[in-house]
Structure 1
Amino acid sequence: MAALENFIKVISSLGSEALAVAPERCVQVRNKNARCLRCAEVCAAGAISYDGEDVLIDGDACIGCGTCATACPTCALEAMHPTDAELSDALAERASAGGDVVVACARALRRAHRAAERKAEEASGLLRRVSVDFDVSDVLQVVCLGRIDESFYAECAARGVSQVTLACDGCETCTYHRGGELARKVAASAHELLDAHGYELAAEFASPLPCSVYEKGTAARALGYDPSKRATIVTLREMTAQVARDSAVEALDPVSGEEAPEPRYAKVGPNGTLPQFVPLRRNRVMNSLHHVGEPVRALVTTRLWGQVDVDVDQCSSCAMCAMFCPTGALARRDDAEGNITLEHRPYRCVQCRLCEDICMTGALSVGDMVSLEDFERGRVQEIPLPPRAWTPNRPDSIFTKMNALVGGSNNSYF
């Protein structure tokens, strides 16, 4: 329990102006047997790591890039710089202006800025460097391209965008290369979803920033740079790193006069399940795909939704999977005759695989290939479960259940 308390405290300490944290959504918090470590696997700055026993979080190292939020299946981590809403507003403004959409990371912007200065210096003929800036008002700026998830591409398609350029400065050589690796996986995942709906969205990674985004000028015409523009480039990485650093210090400072809040655990509700929710990001993907059009394929392989399969011959009908499911993709239903049915809603499954991890008999598995018809129509799959080998609330219920689990030959102690 101490390890879990420590995990809740450290993950909560990440909350800042750059990153919002909802510990109760984390599958590691919901059940200690969860194996999900996606945030640690992709953290671009190495702020989240796993030492073989505990998840470790270094708030000072966090740059607020949002890569962990893209990887988190339950949205326990959400990027705040920019937020999904801010990114959506910026996309809407750019799409309404027509043309392609360009997203650039902070490193690419800094490289483009240095290149513009060199060109301006060459054009001016001066021996000293000239402090210059350029207008990138049409560029959607993020700390790292790992911030961009499938909902962004789906919204691009819904708004009629046909080309998205993602500008980086060579992800393979970048300190935060894991963000770039995830960005490419997400782009491929989004392409699969949109292709299954008959929409062609070209997502191209470019290095450095494409020349087409600059306004035409005279000082560095090769870059389309206008030296009369004095727009300032905000160094997002440095700014968000400082915000996260300050917030972490404030949250962990023992002399701040405020005690750290005690860890709070999710409580079982009246229906016998832990609190459930559907991440808004997944809803945005679904809404955008509805605007794109009807699917043209029956099946799609995706990292966003899952298909649950149950081997009823192995299932013990404990329904723990339904109790811990974070989104309500799995629900248990009992009828008057005592029959148990497991309801599966693929459109709610976020492929966190918590149900797979906690299944004591190994009867349950989660696949990444889903039916688009089930997904689009919101269909519910009903899986009849075998009758229980034990009856709850009887004096011998615990013994009978444990005896069945360990394979004993006796079914009662009477």
Structure 2
Amino acid sequence: MERQIRLCDCNRSFAVDEKALAAGIPGPLKVHHELCRREIGEFESALACGDVVVGCTQEAALFAEVAAERPAVRIDFFNLRENAGWSAEGSGATPKMAALIAAATLPEPDPVVGVTLAAGRNLLIVGEAGAALGWAERLAGRFEVSVLFTGSSRDAELPLERRYPVWSGADVTLSGHLGAFDAVWAQQNAIDLDLCVRCNACIRACPEGAIGWDYQVDAARCRTHRACVSACGTVGAIDFARADTRREGRFDLVLDLSPEPLLRRVEPPQGYAAPGRDPLDQALAVQTLDEFVGEFEKPRYVALDARLCAHSRSRKAGCSNCIEACSAEAIASAGDVVRVDPYLCQGCGTCSTVCPTGALASQYPRVEDLGLRVKTVLARYREAGGEDACLLFHSAEAGHALIERLARRGKGLPARVIPLELWSADAAGLDLMLGSLALGACQVAVLAAGTHDAAPLRAQAAHAQTILAGLGYAGEHLRVIEAEDWPALEAALWDWAPAQGVSRPASFRLVPRKRDTLDLALRHLHALAPAPATEIALQAGAPFGAVAVSDACTLCMSCVGTCPTGALSAATDAMRLGFLEKSCVQCGLCANACPENAVALTPRLLLDDAARRVVPLKEAEIFHCVRCGAAMGAKPMIDAMFARLAGHSMFASEAQQRRLHMCADCRVIDLMENENGTKAWNMTE
């Protein structure tokens, strides 16, 4: 059965050209005026005919409730009103509406591989004694509470009934994720609350009153009488010379009431709440804890191809872009490659944006699925008569909300601006930007609302704009919009004049490998460029460039061994170092691995055939053994070795220095043939 497309002009608040939109649609399309009210019966009738696509998100809950009686029927929603109809140019938005319908009717992408998070009700409350105990008393009936004091309070009083564990400590560290938070702390106070029986003997015995009702010793008042130790007796809860102070525990959830959060991250893990000292913020945080109890399926937002990782080789540092950019601290070094913790990853996609090789690829959505949406939207927009298409990538929550406010309160989106939703706009990298322009967009905007750090996006846009300007494309093609309110978004979009795009859209699709997509996009942009330059200078940090070697290079080939992309290679027929510029990502591993400091990097984009050919960087004659003539390696390398060892006491004589120029076999023979060697040889025989 064909999918039914049901649009609604929301009580005639915007114009919808039913005839124009129905052309080219592989299924019935109908425009309604009150689909969620008076015409709800027609929606029910459409459900009886098969799957339905509804151009309304405001009443999605209502439509889903009606469709619940037909579980076999699929229903999808897209926003026609705020994304297209409610606009100062709404009367000319038909091509954009056609594009949005085409995107909404695409097949559902294959599901993303996920990981399972499971969390029970084991809750750790960390903080000053008074606040921590107060919340523990309130939550003890809903959770399996444990309390960790990180500060004493004379007014706090431990409950006499031991209903939950209470500890005290300092130097608290927290790691892990929902369902598996690991806390480690030091038991620094003399009284171990886990052993204390709360008999109050220590409080009565202390002559200075240094022990409060939270059973913590105030070190400033204590005068080392140790009367409390005697009073505690065989219970042994008080020890001023405790050697074993390390304590640890694992918890499902954490309520951190510390003045400064234990986890200082832009994107903290789910199940961790750090509301600070404000009682209202604490109450709001507590309300969300129940939401994290249970078992959850979480997407693996990022895929790692370790073969392409340029992080390190042979203990030489290379690219650490993803580690530095990860706001969730989900990426760490694991030797020569990085390691991604899927339980901590929140899917912002910044790592895939800054990764020069494509070793990290965003999977939510996959690049190929997103590329299909881009290609479909742009093609349908052109077919419907649209011109100067501008794609607006935005985050699912913050970006979507800002666009809706602009439509409700301002001029809405221009008719040529087509919004495309991403899980996170942080993932809109160089391949998506240039790929979209090659596929026919004249401009690409990234709405940074909800992103963690717009700096990586700005850097990617700057590299792309430099390339386009170098090819002669006029105008501003890329814009990262850091708007926090709808007036700023309105100004950024409505004052933006169209830029010069390609004369013919490309036919390729965005592919999973980042470098392959970039290669396809750059070839197309270069082929249709108004001024097709062959070389474009780029700023430092660009993922394209050249490698050069100085005369100090000895052709030791250390750089070849560390290159993660195969851009550097050793010839098989001669002592020659080759370079394939198309594969170079400017990670710097070759420069860091060179023992002679002979390697220099130059960021640039080479667009002629030379970039796709292996070109020689340096070639040298082969050094041959002075005794047998066997090939030993590059002459500069042998000469460098001789220069370093010539002054060594072990090679003081002429014969010893000559031996350096021999192969391993001849070196042994020569050693045996000298006077001492000959004598030893004869004695053996």
TM-score, normalised to structure 2, is 0.39
Q: 1:65 to 1:91 in 2, by over 3 A?
A: same
Trace 1:42-81 onto structure 2 (pairs within 5 A): 42-49=325-332, 58-81=341-364
Q: How many residues align?
A: 306
Separation in structure 1 between the aligned mates of residue 337 and residue 607 of structure 2, nearest angstrom: 38
SS of the aligned residue for 1:39 comes to helix
Tell me the residue number matched to 1:204: 479
Trace 1:6-405 onto structure 2 (pairs within 5 A): 17-28=300-311, 30-49=313-332, 58-96=341-379, 97=381, 98=386, 99-109=389-399, 111-112=401-402, 115=405, 138-169=418-449, 176-177=452-453, 180-200=454-474, 201-206=476-481, 207=483, 208=485, 210=489, 279-293=515-529, 295-296=532-533, 298-301=535-538, 303-311=542-550, 313-335=551-573, 339-373=574-608, 378-387=612-621, 404=641
User: Match for 2:352: what amino acid?
Assistant: A
Deviation, 1:190, is: 0.5
The 8 Å contact of residues 317 and 387 in structure 1, kept in 2 or not, is answered as no
The 8 Å contact of residues 346 and 374 in structure 1, kept in 2 or not, is answered as no
Deviation, 1:402, is: 11
Q: 1:323 to 1:285 in 2, by over 3 A?
A: farther
Deviation, 1:314, is: 1.2
Deviation, 1:145, is: 2.7
Q: 1:383 to 1:58 in 2, by over 3 A?
A: closer
Q: Give the counterpart of 1:408 among 645, 651, 663.
A: 645
Identity among equivalent pairs (%): 24
Which one has the largest radius of gyration? 2
Task: Name structure 2 gaps, 5 residues minimum.
Answer: 1-297, 410-416, 492-512, 652-656, 661-666, 672-685
The 8 Å contact of residues 393 and 446 in structure 2, kept in 1 or not, is answered as yes
Q: Deviations over 1:67-91 (max 9, x none)?
A: 1112122222111111111221121
Separation in structure 2 between the aligned mates of residue 113 and residue 101 of structure 1, nearest angstrom: 13
From the two aligned structures, give the one with the greater strand fraction: 2
Q: Deviations over 1:337-360 (max 9, x none)?
A: xx4222212122121222222112
The 8 Å contact of residues 28 and 34 in structure 1, kept in 2 or not, is answered as yes
Separation in structure 1 between the aligned mates of residue 602 and residue 583 of structure 2, nearest angstrom: 14
Q: 1:89 to 1:404 in 2, by over 3 A?
A: same
Separation in structure 1 between the aligned mates of residue 520 and residue 631 of structure 2, nearest angstrom: 49
Deviation, 1:333, is: 1.7
Q: 1:299 to 1:405 in 2, by over 3 A?
A: farther
Deviation, 1:322, is: 2.5
User: Match for 1:185: what amino acid?
Assistant: A
Deviation, 1:307, is: 0.5
Deviation, 1:24, is: 2.4
User: Match for 2:516: what amino acid?
Assistant: L
Separation in structure 2 between the aligned mates of residue 327 and residue 165 of structure 1, nearest angstrom: 31
From the two aligned structures, give the one with the greater helix fraction: 1
User: Match for 2:477: what amino acid?
Assistant: A
Deviation, 1:39, is: 0.8
The 8 Å contact of residues 434 and 518 in structure 2, kept in 1 or not, is answered as no
Separation in structure 2 between the aligned mates of residue 55 and residue 25 of structure 1, nearest angstrom: 11
Deviation, 1:117, is: 11
Q: 1:147 to 1:318 in 2, by over 3 A?
A: same
Task: Name structure 1 gaps, 5 residues minimum.
Answer: 1-14, 120-136, 213-276
User: Match for 1:282: what amino acid?
Assistant: L
SS of the aligned residue for 2:479 comes to strand
Separation in structure 1 between the aligned mates of residue 519 and residue 423 of structure 2, nearest angstrom: 24
Separation in structure 2 between the aligned mates of residue 296 and residue 395 of structure 1, nearest angstrom: 44
Tell me the residue number matched to 2:150: none
The 8 Å contact of residues 308 and 359 in structure 2, kept in 1 or not, is answered as yes
The 8 Å contact of residues 431 and 514 in structure 2, kept in 1 or not, is answered as no
The 8 Å contact of residues 352 and 427 in structure 2, kept in 1 or not, is answered as yes
User: Match for 2:549: what amino acid?
Assistant: V
Deviation, 1:20, is: 0.8
SS of the aligned residue for 1:407 comes to helix
Q: 1:298 to 1:57 in 2, by over 3 A?
A: closer
Q: 1:80 to 1:396 in 2, by over 3 A?
A: closer
Tell me the residue number matched to 1:223: none
The 8 Å contact of residues 306 and 370 in structure 1, kept in 2 or not, is answered as yes
User: Match for 2:446: what amino acid?
Assistant: L
